[in-house]
Amino acid sequence: MTVTFDTYREQQLNWLKQEVNIEEFRCAAAKIVVIHMPIIKDKNNWYGMAQLAQHYGPVLHNAGIDLMICRHMHNNLWIGTEKSGFNYPVIVCSNEDFMEVKLDSRRLNFKIRGKESQLVYYQSMVLE
């Protein structure tokens, strides 16, 4: 049996296009996307990530996303606004760590902690 996620991704894309246009989203103080796979432009993206970049990336770019939080890549990464390809930064937490996120006014603070709760990565950013 072959499973394809293309139809499912298309349904999600239609939902996303509607959600980014509702007033609550447009007026939100912070626009943060939490998703398993990062949506970035990368020539090495495999099929699923390439599809997300091609179809979801422009929608999120036009929606003014402040930040994307994800996993999937099995290591901790900070992908800056200039490298994501869609004008939003991406923070990736590995499959063995966990992330704490705190929003103070317009500053987001991220702490990635290891299995023993030790700090393994810290990032902070100001929302514009």
pTM: predicted TM-score of the whole model, two decimal places: 0.89
Token representation of residue 118: 């030790």
Rounded to an integer, what distance in angstroms lies between the CA atom of residue 11 and that of residue 14? Answer: 5
- Output the pLDDT for position 117: 95
The pLDDT of residue 38 is 95
Mean pLDDT of 37-66: 94
Q: Which residues make Cβ contacts (< 8 Å) with residue 34, sequence separation at least 6? A: 68, 69, 70
